[in-house]
C-alpha cells in the first residue's frame, strides 16, 4: 500500500441531520439556543436574498420576551408602507369584486322580473286572439 493511499481500508462516514418534530421545545435553554441559531439563519438568508437577487427584503422577528430583531435591505418604513399599499389594493380589489357580484345579482333579479312581465303580456295577448 502506498503512503497516503488508504484504499478500501477507510470507511466514509457522513453526518446526516435528522428531522426534528415541529412542536414547541419545552426546555427553556434549548428553546433559546434554537431561537438564536434560527434567527441568525433567517437574518443571513434575508441578507443573501437581497444581495443575490437584488430583492427588497424586510424581516421582523419578535422574541418570546418581545425583543425586536429586524433586517431591511433598504428603508424598513418604506418597505412596510409599500407592503401596506399592496395589501390595500388587494382589499380594494376584493371590495370591487363583491360590489360587482351584488350588481350582477340585482341585474339578474331585474331580468327575471322583465321575463315575468313579458310572459304575462304574452299570455294576455294569446288570450285576446
pLDDT, tens only, 60-91 = 999 999 999 999 999 999 999 999 988 877 77
Rounded to 5 degrees, what are φ and ψ at 23? -155, 165
100 Cβ contact list (under 8 Å, min separation 6):
none
Domain membership of residue 106 as a residue range: 86-129
Sequence-ordered strand ranges (E) for the chain: 58-62, 68-72
Flag whether 67 is in a domain: yes
State pTM to two decimals: 0.57
Check whether residue 57 and residue 92 sit in a common domain.
Answer: no
Please state the domain count of the chain: 2
Separation of alpha carbons 45 and 24, rounded Å: 23
Over range 99-117, report the average pLDDT. 94
Which of the residue ranges 11-15, 25-29, 75-79, 111-115 would you say has the lowest mean pLDDT? 11-15
The full length of the chain comes to 129
Q: Average pLDDT over the chain, rounded to whole?
A: 87
CATH of the domain at 39: 3.40.1810.10
Check whether residue 90 and residue 129 sit in a common domain.
Answer: yes
Amino acid at each position: 500500500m502506498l503512503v497516503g493511499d488508504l484504499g478500501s481500508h477507510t470507511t466514509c462516514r457522513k453526518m446526516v441531520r435528522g428531522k426534528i418534530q415541529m412542536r414547541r421545545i419545552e426546555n427553556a435553554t434549548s428553546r433559546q439556543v434554537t431561537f438564536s441559531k434560527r434567527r441568525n439563519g433567517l437574518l443571513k438568508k434575508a441578507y443573501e436574498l437581497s444581495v443575490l437577487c437584488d430583492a427588497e427584503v424586510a424581516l421582523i422577528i419578535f422574541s418570546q420576551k418581545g425583543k425586536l430583531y429586524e433586517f431591511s435591505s433598504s428603508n424598513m418604513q418604506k418597505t412596510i408602507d409599500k407592503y401596506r399599499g399592496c395589501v390595500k389594493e388587494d382589499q380594494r380589489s376584493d371590495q370591487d369584486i363583491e360590489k360587482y357580484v351584488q350588481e350582477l345579482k340585482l341585474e339578474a333579479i331585474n331580468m327575471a322580473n322583465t321575463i315575468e312581465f313579458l310572459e304575462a303580456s304574452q299570455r294576455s295577448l294569446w288570450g285576446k286572439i
